[in-house]
Structure formats: structure tokens, C-alpha cells
Amino acid sequence: MLYFPLQDLEAAALNLDDPEHLRIHSLETFGTHDGPGVRMVVFVQGCQFRCVYCQNPDTLDVHGGMLIGIDELVKRADRQRSYFGKDGGVTVSGGEPLLQRNKLTTFFKALHAIGINTCLDSNGRLNDAATHELLEHTDLLLLDVKHINDEWHHKLTGLTNKNTLDLAAHRESTGKRMWLRYVLVPGWTDQPEFLEEWAKHFTRYKTVDRVEIIPFHQLGSHKWDLLKMNYPLKGLEGPTLEGKKAAVHTFNKYFNNVVLK
């Protein structure tokens, strides 16, 4: 695989590609885990985070995947719209979608033009005018806030959490809907004091409709082996029942809609 240094990834932003195409990893139809209702999920290629628990390391390479026309994606969504119902639609996940934010604005505008709901699953690293433009056409933001402590966030992802928290604040200022996601990793993200701090940070947000706790698992570890990459969490077991209950209990003190995935 080809990797850019972290500082070069955001500058590259996949501008080498045709602006009428998205670089994607895969497509999922009838998705039910990435936003409300039944959804077509577009997994884009490329990510600037290097999460130690990444379940899809095959999406990291900004030059991997395949190019597919935005018009073709809109047509596919249109053909599936009868299955979406009133709550479903299209979700773009990753990888990290914001690396292709200008193209996604075009995509989401086209989806809105035919009445299809849009959802964006993001790590929030890129917080600029182009991102804000995309969010104007995003009905629901799924924001992955990996850790509230910046030092631990660096350990987890290689980068700061400042941009992510700033993007959350921007979304709150617009009054548009947001779900927050938190991956619960034993020894890495389950510290009681930081769970409490994470929840307190967001408790006054009025746009947060839901908080999802996603327990760590080893289902993607074989991908690291296939790519001949060293997996930092090899052999680590998922959170215990008691650990999951403790996280849910903490978040329930601050939020009305906490879901353990």
C-alpha cells in the first residue's frame, strides 16, 4: 500500500481525481447501521487518521479503491429509494469522507434535488469553509469523537481532537441534527474520568439526537495481516459486560438517547 505522510494527506485531498467522480472503497445496499432507516452506504477511500483499532485499514490508502461517477451514484440511490421509506436515504462513510468534501457537496445537492435524505459519517478532522458548505446539505452528521483527552486522541489516531471538537461546535451552532459515536476500547477509551468528561462536554448540545457506543472487536484484524501491517491491538479482547454497562450508565446521566451497538 502507498501511504502519504499525515501532514500531506489533507493537502492532497484527492484533487488528482476527476471532480465528477468519487474515489470509493465499496457500496452497501440495505444498510441499517449507519444512520436511520434503510440506507445506501457509500464507503469512500482514504483517511488521515491512523486509529490503532481501525476495522478497515484497506480504506486508508488515498489512491486505493475505484472511481465511480457521481451521476451513477445518484442513479443507484434513485433506484433504491422505494426501500428507504420516510427515515432512510444515503450515507457516506469511510475512510474519511471530508477528504472529498467538494465532490460530496455536489453529490448531496443532487440527492436533495430528488428528495433523498443525506447522512455523513466523519471523524471531523477537516473544519473549513468547504466542510461547512457540505454540512449545509447534510441532513444528519454522524460524528466520531474518538477521545475527549487530546493526549489520548493522539495515541489513538496520530492527530489532535481539536478540529473534531470545533466541528461539533460548528454543527451545534447551525441547529442541524447530529449523532455522536464513541468506540469503547478496553485500556484506551474506557477510562471512567474521560467518559465522564466526554459526556459533560456534549451534554448541553441541543442538536445531539443520539449517542452510540460501539464496543471494540477483532473482526477486522485479519485485514491488517493481509496488508502486512502491524496491528497494535492484536489479541486485545472487547469490553466486558460490566465495562459496557459502566459506559452506558455514565452516558445515560447526560443524554436521553444512548444506544449500545
User: Which pLDDT score is estimated for 18?
Assistant: 76
User: Which pLDDT score is estimated for 93?
Assistant: 97
Is 176:145 a contact under the CB 8 Å cutoff?
no
Which sign, positive or negative, has the C-alpha torsion 6, 17, 119, 220?
Answer: negative
Please enumerate in sequence order all residues whose Cβ is within 8 A of that of 152, keeping only pairs 6 or more positions apart, or say none. 188, 189, 191, 194
**What are the structural domains, with CATH classification, of the chain?**
6-260 (3.20.20.70)
Q: Quote the pTM value.
A: 0.92
CA gap 100, 109 in Å, rounded: 14
Cβ of 76: how many Cβ atoms within 10 Å?
16
pLDDT tens by residue, 159-201:
999 999 999 999 999 999 999 999 999 999 999 999 999 999 9
User: Which pLDDT score is estimated for 17?
Assistant: 59
Residue with cell 444512548: 258
pLDDT tens by residue, 104-137:
999 999 999 999 999 999 999 999 999 999 999 9
Q: In what order do the strands lie in the sheet with 21-31?
A: 66-69, 21-31, 39-44, 89-93, 118-122, 140-144, 178-184, 208-215, 258-260
Query: Which ranges of 3-141 does DSSP label H, i.e. alpha helix?
Result: 6-12, 70-84, 101-113, 129-136
Chunked mean pLDDT (size 10), the chain, 261 residues: 38 58 93 95 96 94 92 96 96 96 97 98 96 98 98 97 98 98 98 98 98 94 91 95 98 98 94
